[in-house]
Structure 1
């Protein structure tokens, strides 16, 4: 099988809760969340759903 740089993950989830799918390095993800949350115009340009 030829690898074209695409990773395929199949999973079955059951039960209650919230699932976060992360496709970038955790460090970069945390930086973007921190930038978005501390942004003065966060309410006008909400990029993340925080519950």
Structure 2
């Protein structure tokens, strides 16, 4: 089921695999973690690049 969910903090519809990052205060698709050294969320768009570091 690909139905969108709702994030009350973002006040927006988000995908099922999205999670709200407390550090960035935004929802990230396929959220993995927030990297404190890069000060950036790691998720679906940049996971491969993060692993290559």
Pairwise TM-score range, normalised by the shorter structure: under 0.3
- Which has a greater percent of helix? 1
Higher strand share: 2
TM-score normalised over the length of structure 1 = 0.20
